[in-house]
Amino acid sequence: MTQQSKTGAVIRGTGVVAGLAYGPARWVVRPDELDPGPAAGGGDSDEQDQPDEGRVEAGRERFAAAARTVAERLDQRAALATGVSAEVLSANAVLARDRGWAKAVVKELKKGASVEAAAVAATETFAEMFAKIGGRQAERITDLRDICARVVAELRGLPEPGIPEFDEPGVLMADDLAPADTAGLDPALVLAIVCEHGGPTSHTAIIARQLGIPCMVAVGGLTAVVDGTHVLVDAAAGTVTVEPEAGPATAQADADRRNRALAADWTGPAALADGHPVHLLANVQDGAGAEDAASGPAGGIGLFRTELAFLDRASEPTHDEQVDLYARVLGSFPDARVVTRTLDAGSDKPLAFAGMTEEDNPALGVRGIRVDLIDPGLLDRQLDALAAAGRRVGGAQSSPWVMAPMVATVDEARDFADRCRQRGLTPGIMVEVPSVAVAVDRFLPHIDFLSIGTNDLTQYVMAADRMSSDLAALTDPWQPAVLRLIRAVAEAAARSSDGRTIPVGVCGEAAADPNLACVLLGLGVSSLSVATAALPFVGAALAEVTFEQCRELAALALDSDTALEARDAVLAARS
Ligand code: PEP
Ligand code: MG
């Protein structure tokens, strides 16, 4: 750790789950603080003294047993978790059991490494490979290293690295949190999460949102904050203040708690202070998530990420499996809007069964609707299953709303819409590739609705990888250029050349920021879709502003040169 930050010093980062917290910093025990011991050629472990074959075999067995224990623990924690947390923990358990990793460990053992060093070296080989691939693979490096650290600790008979024991509420700090750690956090003790690295759409951010814990990522220079130091985290403003004056900091944290209580009391339905209606919908990824959303104030589902339901599948789910899943999700809101997105495979969400090959630049490669180029049947089969699910649920869901991700051309939109209409589905497209936003009037005649994916739209407009923590300031959806595109899309959709008003929603993480949500409505968007945990915060914030005020806030944001300026201007106007 470097020198302690000065009293009152403000460190900036990217807030990904709004909220304010004041408390002592508690650092995660970092995996790299575990010394794996000597690499190939040396060593002090017992197996080092055994004849080569026996040593390798003994090492292989010890590694396999430790990895198995770690995988079982992850499975147990997955069974106790729900939604995204459960998915992430299960996916990590699969990684711990990875045969390729075990083989790479044996290779290192054969070179003479101790079993701990072999585990680390094998992990680093994969980490290097993943870093070169970039995108989602690069994001998994944190998971890999975390699992490796757990296995090394197990081999050493040490407690699992990771989250410290909290004996009083505090602010959890980390270089980057492994999803396995984030998923098990207790929101009563963890007042906020602050990471030196990580991106706004990383798993940590998504899980923190699900748990309702304020979260910041990409906080450069965080390591200068010594464990135990009191900090004020303001995720909405993107700041961490070191040793602030205790009185005002406590008052601010208390006020924020009151706001959160307002959110807790907010029961919907969503509307602005002047009664202007808003569709406030939920983002879900499986049947359980949809039913959870339906038990709260969500007005429907604005984004059902079907690919997330199948991330762990080696082969394509059967027609019946798909129909059961889609019908469960549609049936959770029998009378409301449910928007299902067709498989957004590729880039950060590779699906084993989608037939994709390795690419140099997967975020610009075969992903989303483009998978149709290499596996034309996959989309048709999914649309068939969605249509069958709609028929099964019937009523308002007999013509389900379906949208395609990563559409870039009018031909793609027209073709997708034709295929939907042939099956009685209601077609829409996501606006995430800038070409759609720029020429949106040419797309409108073909489709029935638009949904703006601000995560990818920002990534492509700013030419900045959404997974890169170094570029988090660029991938901030408050970027005025992104806001201008959103305004252009909303304005065009309000006056489609065929006289229809095409509904425009936002389903990216931008909609989950209560202040930005007000701006988005002011820009002309009519629905917002957010993680279920974020919904009351957005709903409570919207209930405090009129439509006219939203328009004024939008004008302030548009009249800024930087994301920071836009955010500060809106914050100042709302406080
Ligand atoms: C988006 O890009 O904003 C979006 C909602 O899609 P995803 O995050 O799943 O890529
Ligand atoms: Mg996207």
Other C-beta atoms within 10 Å of 48: how many?
A: 16
| Candidate list 197, 203, 230, 279, residue with the active-site label | 203
pLDDT value, residue 265: 87
Ligand showing the shortest atom-to-Cα distance for residue 508: 1
Residue 313 or residue 30, greater confidence: 313
* CA nearest ligand 1 atom 6, residue: 453
Residue 7 or residue 57, greater confidence: 57
| Candidate list 215, 420, 507, 550, residue with the active-site label | 507
Tokens of 195: 């990471």
Atom number of ligand 1 nearest to Cα 507: 5
Band of the pLDDT at 44, cuts 50, 70, 90?
very low
pLDDT value, residue 216: 92
Q: Report the range of poorest mean pLDDT among 6-10, 323-327, 558-562.
A: 6-10
Phi, psi of 462 (to 5 degrees): -90, 0
Q: Would you tell me the crossing angle of helices 514-522 and 563-574 to the nearest 10 degrees? A: 100
pLDDT value, residue 354: 86
Say how many Å lie between the CA of residue 267 and the centre of ligand 1: 27
Residue 458 has pLDDT above 90, yes or no: yes
Residue 37 or residue 66, greater confidence: 66
Band of the pLDDT at 209, cuts 50, 70, 90?
confident
Residue 327 to residue 392: CA distance in whole angstroms: 7
Cα separation values, 213 from 222, 303, 453, Å:
19, 22, 23
pLDDT value, residue 2: 40
Residue 201 to residue 434: CA distance in whole angstroms: 19
Atom number of ligand 1 nearest to Cα 283: 5
Assess contact for 468 and 200: CB atoms under 8 A. no
Residue 19 to residue 515: CA distance in whole angstroms: 12
Assess contact for 407 and 373: CB atoms under 8 A. no
**pLDDT-above-90 percentage for the chain:** 56
Q: Is the CB of 459 under 6 A from ligand 1?
A: no
Atom number of ligand 1 nearest to Cα 454: 3
Residue 6 has pLDDT above 70, yes or no: no
pLDDT value, residue 41: 42
Alpha helices in 212-318 (DSSP H): 246-265, 287-294, 306-309
Closest Cα to residue 233, out of 434, 21, 416?
21
Q: Is the CB of 367 under 6 A from ligand 1?
A: no
Atom number of ligand 1 nearest to Cα 308: 9
Site to substitute for ligand 1 among 281, 284, 430, 461, most atoms within 8 A of C-beta: 430
Residue 445 DSSP symbol: G
Assess contact for 317 and 310: CB atoms under 8 A. yes
* CA nearest ligand 1 atom 4, residue: 453
Assess contact for 374 and 353: CB atoms under 8 A. no
- Catalytic, 319? Answer no
Cα separation values, 302 from 400, 451, 453, 484, 528, Å:
12, 8, 11, 22, 7
Residue 42 has pLDDT above 50, yes or no: no
Q: Report the range of poorest mean pLDDT among 178-187, 469-478, 553-562.
A: 178-187
**Strand, helix or coil for residue 452:** strand
pLDDT value, residue 253: 85
Work out the average pLDDT over 89-102: 90
Q: Is the CB of 454 under 6 A from ligand 1?
A: yes
Tokens of 548: 């006219």
Closest Cα to residue 556, out of 522, 524, 529, 527?
522
pLDDT value, residue 565: 92
* CA nearest ligand 1 atom 10, residue: 456
For the stretch 422-433, what's the b/e string if a residue is b when 16 or more beta carbons lie within 10 angstroms of its beta carbon? ebebbbbbbbbb
Residue 450 DSSP symbol: E
Is the bond preceding 445 in cis, omega lying within 30 degrees of 0?
no
Is pTM beyond 0.75? Reply is no
Q: Report the range of poorest mean pLDDT among 29-33, 99-103, 331-335, 550-554.
A: 29-33
Site to substitute for ligand 1 among 347, 432, 433, most atoms within 8 A of C-beta: 432
Ligand showing the shortest atom-to-Cα distance for residue 482: 1
Q: Is 406 exposed, middle or buried (0-12, 13-18, 19+ CB in 10 A)?
A: buried
Residue 184 to residue 89: CA distance in whole angstroms: 9
Residue 1 has pLDDT above 50, yes or no: no
Site to substitute for ligand 1 among 311, 342, 456, 516, most atoms within 8 A of C-beta: 456
The strand pair at 170-174 and 527-531 is best described as unpaired
Say how many Å lie between the CA of residue 67 and the centre of ligand 1: 33
Say how many Å lie between the CA of residue 527 and the centre of ligand 1: 15
Q: Which range scores top for mean pLDDT: 242-251, 259-268, 292-301, 460-469? A: 292-301
For the stretch 315-341, what's the b/e string if a residue is b when 16 or more beta carbons lie within 10 angstroms of its beta carbon? ebbeeeebbebbbbbbbbbeeebbbbb
Tokens of 315: 């082969």
Residue 49 has pLDDT above 60, yes or no: no
Q: Is the CB of 456 under 6 A from ligand 1?
A: yes
CA 517 to chain centre: 18
Closest Cα to residue 386, out of 427, 425, 439, 338?
425
For residue range 391-447, list pLDDT tens digits in order.
999 999 999 999 999 999 999 999 999 999 999 999 999 999 999 999 999 999 999
Assess contact for 238 and 11: CB atoms under 8 A. no
pLDDT value, residue 276: 94
Residue 16 to residue 122: CA distance in whole angstroms: 33
Q: Report the range of poorest mean pLDDT among 195-209, 214-228, 351-365, 390-404.
A: 195-209
Work out the average pLDDT over 74-95: 81
Assess contact for 514 and 539: CB atoms under 8 A. no
Other C-beta atoms within 10 Å of 365: how many?
A: 15
- Catalytic, 507? Answer yes
Work out the average pLDDT over 46-72: 84
Tokens of 45: 């472990």
**Chain-wide mean pLDDT for the chain?**
88
Say how many Å lie between the CA of residue 2 and the centre of ligand 2: 37
